Amino acid sequence: MRLVTIVPTGTANTASVVAALTRLGALVEEAASAGDVETAQGVVLPGVGAFGSAMDRIESLGLGAAIRERIEVNRPTLAVCVGMQLLSRHSEESPGATGLKVFEETVGRFGDGLTVPQMGWNRVEPGPGSRFVESGWAYFANSYRIDRLPDGWAGSNTDHGGKFVSALEKGDVLACQFHPELSGEWGARLLDRWLQRVETAA
C-alpha cells in the first residue's frame, strides 16, 4: 500500500498533487499533527505562492521540526516547487523569513532581463547520483531558484538565463522545482519511482 501524507501548506497545487498521486494508486491523507508527519510512510510538501506564507503555515501547525527530521534521515519525502525552496534557510522572496534549514543555500530571484516567472516547459538534465530523475521535459512556474547544489545532495539542472538546480535527491528524499504532477507521462513516471520507495520503506 502506498500511503502518503500531504502537508497542508495552504497553497494552490495541493489538489493537483493529490490527484496525480491518487491516479498512481496512492492513498493520500492530510497531516493534522507532527505525529502524522513522523509516522507517515511518505510525506509530500507541496507549494505554490510565497515562501514566507507557506513557512508561516507550516510553523503554525507545528510541523516544521518533524519535516526537517525525516528529511535529515532520508525518509521518503517529496517537495514540489516552493516546497523545494522551503528546504533552504532563506529566500530573497521573503526577507526575514526562515525556512526549514535542511541546507544553507539561499533561494534567489532570476536575473534581470529574463521572463519571470518562468512559465511552461523546460528541459531537466540529471547529474551524477540521480536515481529518481531522468532526462526530459517538465512544467515550471517559478520566479525564484537555487543556483548551487547543496553539499551531500545529487541534483538535476535546467537552464533559464543560466543553469539552476531543478531537482535534488538524497536517499529517499526528492525535491523538484518543477511540477511533476503537471509534467505529463514523464512526471507520472517520476512520481511512480518515488512512490515505489514509499512502498518499499513501509
Q: Locate 52 and state its grid cell.
A: 514566507
Model confidence at 202, pLDDT cuts 50, 70, 90, reads low
Is residue 54 within 8 Å of 99, Cβ to Cβ?
no
Which of 81, 90, 169, 176 does the annotation list as catalytic?
81
User: pLDDT tens for residues 112-159?
Assistant: 999 999 999 999 999 999 999 999 999 999 999 999 999 999 999 999
The pTM is what? 0.96
Q: What are the boundaries of each domain within the chain?
A: 2-201
Active-site pick, 160, 179, 185, 199: 179
The span from the CA of 2 to the CA of 139, in Å, is 25
Q: Check pLDDT > 90 for residue 81.
A: yes
Spot the catalytic one: 59, 125, 181, 199. Answer: 181
Look at the domain 2-201 and name its fold: Rossmann fold (3.40.50)
Q: What is the pLDDT of residue 36?
A: 97
Closest CA to 139 of 126, 120, 123, 157: 120
Crossing angle between the packed helical segments 184-201 and 14-23, to the nearest 10 degrees: 70
Predicted pLDDT of residue 2: 84
User: How far is Cα 30 from Cα 199, in angstroms, rounded to an integer?
Assistant: 18
In the chain the first and final C-alpha atoms are separated, in Å, by 8
pLDDT, residue 48, reads: 80
Please report which confidence band the pLDDT of residue 72 belongs to, taking 50, 70 and 90 as the band edges. very high
How far apart CA 161 and CA 144 sit, in angstroms, is 12
**Burial tier of 35 (Cβ tally within 10 Å: 0-12, 13-18, 19+):** exposed
| 90 assigned to active site | no
